C-alpha cells in the first residue's frame, strides 16, 4: 500500500492515525515495563539488577514508525509518530493513571527517552535531508 506522490491526502490520514495509535501503545508498554528487574518475579533471578528492555524496544520501534510513516504517508508527516510517542511518554510518565508518577527519576528514564527519541530523530533527519536534496536536484 505505497502511496504515490500524487495520491490524495484522504488515503494518508488512516495510515498516519494507525501509526500514531501504534506510537501511543508502544510508549505506554515501554513506560510500564521500564522497571523490570532480574529479581525472580517476572524475569529470572540474577542479583536484582535493573534490566530496561523497553529502552531497547523503543530504540528499534520508534525509528521503524518514522520510516514507515515516511514511506507510506509523506516525508513531512513522518514526524507525527515520534511526536505522539514523546508526548504520550511524558504525559503518562508525569501524570500517570490516577495521578501517579510512572516515569522513574533515574538512569532508566533517560535511557528510554534517549533510546527512543534519538534513533527516530536521526531517521527523521535522514528522511528530511533526502527530501531537501531531491527538491534541490529537481529545480
| Mean pLDDT, rounded, for 34-52 | 78
| Mean pLDDT, rounded, for 86-101 | 85
DSSP three-state, residue 46: strand
pLDDT for 67 beyond 60 = yes
pLDDT for 133 beyond 90 = no
pLDDT for 3 beyond 50 = no
The secondary element (H helix, E strand) that includes residue 50 is: strand 45-50
Amino acid at each position: 500500500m505505497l502511496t504515490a506522490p500524487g495520491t490524495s491526502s484522504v488515503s494518508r490520514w488512516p495510515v498516519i492515525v494507525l501509526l500514531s495509535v501504534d506510537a501511543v501503545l508502544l510508549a505506554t508498554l515501554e513506560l510500564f515495563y521500564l522497571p523490570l528487574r532480574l529479581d525472580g518475579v517476572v524475569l529470572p533471578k540474577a542479583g536484582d539488577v535493573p534490566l530496561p528492555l523497553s529502552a531497547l524496544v523503543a530504540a528499534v520501534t520508534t525509528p521503524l514508525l518514522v520510516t514507515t510513516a515516511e514511506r507510506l504517508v509523506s516525508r513531512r508527516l513522518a514526524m507525527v509518530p515520534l511526536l505522539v510517542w514523546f508526548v504520550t511518554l511524558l504525559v503518562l510518565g508525569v501524570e500517570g493513571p490516577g495521578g501517579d508518577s510512572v516515569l522513574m527519576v533515574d538512569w532508566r528514564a533517560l535511557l528510554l527517552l534517549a533510546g527512543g527519541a534519538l534513533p527516530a530523530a536521526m531517521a527523521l533527519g535522514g528522511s528530511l535531508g533526502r527530501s531537501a536534496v531531491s527538491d534541490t536536484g529537481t529545480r
